[in-house]
């Protein structure tokens, strides 16, 4: 498994673990908040129960003090304490609304309070009419009601204290967990950040090394290209001159001694002249091919292909007349490209069609254009969603075996031997491929022996 894929898996697992701990931290914080609220809620209930108990004790004490001393100041304290009790009871009812058991305890306390207050008020109202034994009996009855109230208070306090302890324990547990989750998240985040930094630093070093290597290779290629340009210059100038002199000497010999040369010598001179001319054309084609690698022509956004084809036909009209060529051209798209190179491109394709036409049969060339999307491209070429203008050139020549569809674009690769009547140099289609590469496009070939060939030129459409 590639390291990049392992890094991706490790990074993904780290993010997953970080996400899990983040969810746990979020849940822990929410639970801690809820438990804190419940603890505070229980503490408020316990506080209200204590306040209610104190208020009832004040009422009880104030009644006894008044009965013993007849001091009305005790009545004032009694009234003040008694007036607090309804508010406390209502508060307890609201606070225990979500707890059915405590709500029942609150109702029981309220009933006990009401019974005690009614009995207390009855004693105060009729105290003048009670005998000592009757008053004593009433006070004992009040004490029983007060004991019942205290019991109810005690039951509710115990239950609420139990809830408080449970909620407090849960709160303490979440108080311990929450920092641990936070530490885990901080640790994982630090590790991810550190690992990312190390990986980025390593990637940066690798990229710098690759960039340095590329710069070295670019410089090497630049030097090689400069040397290639020198060779091209020598080829196109220094080698052409001896070839011209050879042909000049041949023409001079044939003109000066038209009747003195033996027939065999004339044949040999013709062969020398023919081969010299072949070398001259080969040198010129090589010079063109090398020059294409150092593309200095300005690219035009809108090149008229129909105009270029008209000029190429005009240039090769004599050769086309000999082959009785018939050319059909449909409306072709305008493309972005290098006008001079496109002229060379179609000239080479026309030359190829003329060179490999069927003897004794008129040459037919059909040129069409259409638009294709990236999904419709041949399987060997993938350019995403980019669209292309396609120009197809079909001829009814001798064709070729489909298995050589890629070989024909290789420099100096010829499908026909040197003894064949079809004298190709093996460079024309390589020039075509180089030109299409300069246009960020490509060329494909399809053919069938004896039935012709089709070349398709794919020009990318600029977005």
Query: How many C-beta neighbours within 10 Å does residue 211 have?
Result: 10
* Beta-bridge partner residues of 444: 456
pLDDT confidence of residue 44 = 92
Q: For the range 26-31, what are the long-range contacts, defined as Cβ-Cβ under 8 Å and sequence gap of 24 or more? A: 28/174, 28/177, 28/178, 28/181, 29/178, 31/170, 31/174
Of the listed ranges 115-129, 220-234, 343-357, the least confidently predicted one is: 220-234
pLDDT (average), residues 206-227:
82
Token pair in block for residue 137: 């009996």
pLDDT digits (tens, 9 = 90+) for 431-446: 888 888 888 888 888 8
Q: Is the pTM of this model over 0.75?
A: no
Phi, psi of 425 (to 5 degrees): -100, -10
Radius of gyration of the chain from its Cα atoms, rounded to whole angstroms: 53
pLDDT confidence of residue 419 = 47
Structure confidence at residue 394 as a pLDDT band (50, 70, 90): very high
Strands of the sheet containing 452-460, edge to edge, are 326-329, 364-372, 388-395, 452-460, 442-448
Domains recognised in the chain with CATH numbers:
3-200 (1.20.120), 239-294 (no CATH), 297-460 (3.30.565.10)
pLDDT digits (tens, 9 = 90+) for 406-430: 777 776 666 655 545 556 567 788 8
pLDDT digits (tens, 9 = 90+) for 61-103: 887 787 777 777 888 878 888 888 888 888 988 988 888 888 8
pLDDT confidence of residue 261 = 67
pLDDT (average), residues 370-379:
76
* Cβ–Cβ under 8 Å, residues 325 and 395: no
Residues 6+ apart with CB under 8 A from 273: 246, 247, 250
Residues 6+ apart with CB under 8 A from 62: 74, 75, 77, 78, 81
More confident of the two residues 1 and 405: 405
What's the chain's average pLDDT?
Answer: 80
pLDDT digits (tens, 9 = 90+) for 326-346: 888 888 888 888 888 888 888
Of the listed ranges 289-293, 304-308, 451-455, the least confidently predicted one is: 289-293
């Amino acid at each position: 498994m590639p390291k990049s894929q392992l890094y991706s898996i490790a990074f993904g697992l780290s993010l997953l673990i970080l996400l899990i701990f983040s969810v746990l931290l979020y849940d822990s914080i929410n639970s801690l908040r809820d438990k804190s609220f419940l603890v505070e809620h229980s503490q408020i209930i316990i506080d209200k129960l204590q306040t209610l108990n104190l208020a009832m004790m004040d009422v009880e004490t104030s009644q006894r003090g008044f009965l013993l001393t007849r001091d009305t100041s005790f009545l004032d304290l009694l009234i003040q304490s008694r007036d607090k009790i309804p508010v406390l009871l209502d508060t307890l009812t609201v606070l225990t609304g979500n707890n059915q058991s405590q709500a029942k305890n609150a109702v029981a306390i309220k009933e006990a309070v009401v019974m005690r207050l009614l009995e207390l008020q009855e004693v105060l109202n009729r105290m003048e009419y009670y005998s000592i034994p009757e008053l004593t009996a009433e006070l004992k009855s009040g004490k029983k009601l007060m004991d019942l109230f205290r019991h109810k208070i005690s039951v509710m306090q115990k239950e609420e204290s139990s809830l408080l302890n449970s909620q407090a324990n849960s709160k303490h547990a979440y108080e311990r967990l929450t920092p641990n989750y936070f530490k885990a998240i901080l640790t994982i985040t630090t590790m991810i950040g550190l690992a990312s930094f190390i990986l980025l630093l390593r990637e940066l070093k690798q990229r710098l090394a690759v960039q340095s290597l590329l710069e070295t290779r670019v410089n090497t290629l630049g030097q090689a290209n400069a040397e290639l340009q020198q060779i091209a210059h020598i080829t196109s100038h220094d080698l052409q001159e001896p070839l011209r002199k050879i042909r000049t000497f041949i023409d001079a010999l044939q003109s000066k001694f038209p009747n003195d040369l033996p027939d065999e010598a004339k044949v040999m001179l013709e062969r020398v002249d023919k081969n010299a001319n072949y070398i001259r054309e080969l040198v010129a084609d090589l010079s063109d091919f090398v020059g294409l690698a150092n593309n200095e022509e300005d690219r035009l956004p809108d090149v008229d292909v129909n105009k270029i084809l008209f000029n190429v036909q005009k240039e090769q009209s004599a050769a086309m007349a000999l082959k009785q060529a018939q050319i059909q051209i449909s409306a072709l798209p305008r493309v972005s490209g290098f006008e001079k190179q496109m002229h060379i491109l179609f000239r080479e394709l026309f030359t190829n069609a003329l060179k490999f036409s069927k003897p004794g049969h008129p040459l037919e060339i059909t040129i069409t254009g259409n638009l294709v999307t990236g999904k419709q491209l041949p399987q060997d070429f993938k350019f995403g969603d980019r669209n292309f203008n396609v120009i197809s050139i079909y001829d009814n020549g001798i064709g070729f075996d489909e298995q050589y569809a890629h070989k024909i674009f290789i420099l100096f690769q010829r499908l026909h031997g040197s003894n064949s009547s079809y004298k190709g140099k093996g460079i024309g289609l390589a020039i075509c491929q180089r030109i299409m590469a300069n246009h960020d496009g490509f060329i494909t070939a399809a053919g069938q022996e004896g039935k012709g060939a089709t070349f398709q030129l794919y020009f990318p459409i600029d977005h």
